[in-house]
Structure formats: structure tokens, C-alpha cells
Amino acid sequence: MRITVMKFGGTSVADPEKIQRAAERAVAERRKGRGVVVVVSAPGQMTDELLTLAERVAPRPDERELDQLLSTGEQVGISLFSMACLARGAAAVSMTGAQAGVEAQGPHTRAQIVRIRPANILRELHAGRIVTVAGFQGLNDAGAVATLGRGGSDLTAVALASALKTGSCEIFSDVKGVYTADPRIVFEARKLTRLGFEEMLELAGAGSQVMQARSLEVAASHGVSIHVRSAFHREPGTWIVPKENNTMLEKARVSALALDKNEVRLSIVDVPDRPGVAAEVLSVLAKRDIPVDMIIQSAPTHRGVNDISFMTPRAWASKAREALASAAKELNARVDLHEHVAKISAVGTGFRHHPWVAARMFETLAKNKINIHMIVASDLRISCVVDAKHGETALRALHRAYGLGKSR
């Protein structure tokens, strides 16, 4: 029996009508004779509502209990989804993470999947049932529910595809696929047919919300291709696939642009120019699990000091500033926070050997009189930090400059 793994995100199952539409797709797939496993997220805003409830009961809720609480959202999702399949005449059965054999370990609220024992799922598939599996959760050694953190349902889908050896999984959400740029900002933005894992990972790092880096990494290392598509439209979306063997064609390619306005720039200014200082500063951040991107250390000034700057998500800004403040005090330095910034990135391949990609970005921004605060470039991504107010203009100008709107 060939098996399809489908995953429906929270917006795809936000209300009974949407659940019914999603269930129709699962039933149609089953009627083609395939085994169907559906990973379901918590409907709509349920997770946020439960979180609010928890915070009203306890300002800093215990994490084991938070997992026990939050996991009910997905349990509601799978049972409603199964009911909808059954109401359409298809056999179906729902499984919590525990029932589906999803084993997790690590700290509560951010656990990892260790393995999936798919015996229960396979038995039900062979009995002809659509199996709905609660995303975002597993059972740990202590017999407690452990949730997988952000993007956890995507991770469940990828891990199931790997355990069931399907080679791929379908991720249904409210976006139609991966675009050359955000189509709400760039009118000519084009949906990509396929994209390599590495590029998608860079896009996630550049602020694309389509998929979390974690699931992409697991998918890449287990060889699971991902079809990102819309729950509300029939047409195919974007396939995220292992890197194609294109070592012969040493051509640079820009695949897509991303604009991220959800980060702030933090700088620690006038730190002494001696070995180990950068490590000291970064370890302060690492110890608190603060995500950073675009770390830059300036060349030392004549006064023997330099600056270290980086980008961090807006939600982490105050925590990061606090952490830096104590380090700064010891180093006799000071901390600057720039809130009104945007990160604009070009993602693709072969950038290192083809400096025209970077050059064209700088030229285009200059032509539009947009000042660049920071630059970081790798083989797969070039990111510039600009004033927030210039973000959208920059995105449109670069989309034209790289010719992304034309079909290739």
C-alpha cells in the first residue's frame, strides 16, 4: 500500500467548514486507493487561547503542565477531522502522539522526536482507515506529554513520512507555495515550482514564514521531499527537494527575496579589541537561547575598541538587551538598540563565485537612495539591513533588478 502523509495547519482547520473541506481532500486521496495519514494542528487560535488561560491561572505556568494543556488543541483537531472523514463515509481513526507511537525527549515545550514506532498507524492503515495524528506532541520516558515547540506539527509530518518511508509529505496551509517575494508587497511575485532544501533553509533564516528551519533540516537529512501547498486551492504548490546535482553548471541563481521586519538590530559599542571578547558577548546570548542572525564585528578603531552588531527577533529584544547590558558593564562598553530596521535578503546558489549578485543588490539600493546599515553574505544568501521605512521599496526594486518576475 502506498502511503500519503498530509499535514493541515491551524488556519486550514480553523472552523468546522474548513475542517470539512480539508477532510474531503483526505477522503479523495483515500479513494484513490492510497493509505492516508493526516497530521492535524490545533484549530485556529486554540493554542493561543489555552496559553492565555494558563497565564491567567499562573503567571509562569509549569512547563510539564503547559504541555499537558496545549496538547489538547491538536487532540481536538484530530478528533474533529476524523469525524468529518467518517461523516463522508470513509473509515477513520484519530491518534494522539502517544497512541501514534511518537516518542519524544528533551525539555518540555521544546522537546524533540526521538523515534516513531508506527505499528499502530500501520495496523489501522491496513484496515483501510484514514489515520489522523496529533501534531506537535509526543510521549516522553516519564509517560508525560511533551510538545515540540514552534513548527512542531510540520516536524511530526516529516518524521512520519520518514518512519513510514513515503519519501515525501504534503504541507497544507493558507499560502499557495513559496514565492519569489511576498506577493502582498511585490505584485509580479511568482510561485516557484521547486526549490532546494538549502535555499528554503536560507529563506526561513531570512524571515520567510512558510516553514520552520527545524522541519527542513530533518526533512533534508532524512530525504523527505516536501510539497508546500494551499488548503483552499487545488493547484500544485512548491516542492522542496534535495539539491539537484548541478555542479557542472557553475551558474549563480537568485531564487527568491525575503523581507523581515520582525527583527531589531542590537550593538555593543566600544568593546576592547582583545581576543575572546566576541566569544564572551555571544556566549551571554547563547546561554539564554537568544536567536541571532548577521553577527558582524567592525574593524578596530584607532582607540583600540570595536563594535559587535547582530539581528535578533523583536520578541527577544528586551531579553537580549538585558543580557548584553551586564556584559557591557564588565567591558566598559555600551549597548545600542535599533528598532526601526528591516532585513532584506536574496536567496539562491553560487553567490560566492559570482559577485554580480551582491554588486547588483548594492547598486539597486544605492540607485534608490537607500542606506545600508549592515551586510552579511554567504554562498546562498546576501542580507542587508536598511531603515524599516525603505523595506518594501527595496523589495520591489530588487525583484525587478534580479528579473524574478519573468518566467524562467
Q: Interface residues with a copy of itself (CB under 8 A)?
A: 16, 19-20, 50, 53-54, 56-62, 64-66, 68-69, 71-72, 75-76, 78-80, 82-84, 86-87, 92-94, 96, 98-99, 120, 143-144
Residue-by-residue DSSP string for 187-205: TT--B-SEEEHHHHHHHHH
Q: Which residue has the cell 535599533?
A: 338
**What amino acid is encoded at 245 in this protein?**
N
User: Residue 284 phi/psi, 5° resolution?
Assistant: -60, -40
Smallest gap from residue 94 Cβ to a copy of itself (A): 5
Which residue number, 140 or 208, has a Cβ lying nearer to a copy of itself? 140
Q: Which is nearer to a copy of itself, 45 or 364 (CB)?
A: 45
Q: Toward a copy of itself, which CB reaches closer, 94 or 225? A: 94
Burial class (CB in 10 A: 0-12, 13-18, 19+), 194: middle
Minimum CB distance to a copy of itself smaller for 39 or for 347: 39
Read off the C-alpha cell for 281. Answer: 558577548
Distance CA 255, CA 246 (A): 15
- In whole angstroms, how close is the CB of 134 to a copy of itself at the nearest point? 9
Q: Which three cell numbers stand for residue 233?
A: 486551492
Cell 527542513 -> residue: 216
Annotate 202-227 with DSSP letters as a single string: HHHHTT--SS-HHHHHHHHHHT-EEE
Q: From CA 60, how far away is CA 71, in angstroms rounded?
A: 18
- Considering the complex, what minimum distance in angstroms separates the CB of residue 56 from a copy of itself? 4
In angstroms, what is the minimal distance from the CB of 231 to a copy of itself?
16
The residue (of 61 and 223) whose beta carbon lies closer to a copy of itself is 61
Q: Kindly state the smallest distance separating residue 159's Cβ from a copy of itself, in Å.
A: 20
> Toward a copy of itself, which CB reaches closer, 65 or 379?
65
Q: At what angle do helices 197-205 and 213-222 cross, to 10 degrees?
A: 170
Q: What is the smallest separation between the CB atom of 104 and a copy of itself, expressed in angstroms?
A: 15
User: Could you tell me if 268 and 335 are in contact, meaning their C-beta atoms sit under 8 angstroms apart?
Assistant: yes
Min dist. Cβ of residue 81 to a copy of itself (A): 8
Instruction: Report strand pairing: 168-173 vs 3-8.
Output: parallel
Q: Are 13 and 41 in contact (CB under 8 A)?
A: yes
Based on CB atoms, which residue is closest to a copy of itself, 81 or 197? Answer: 81
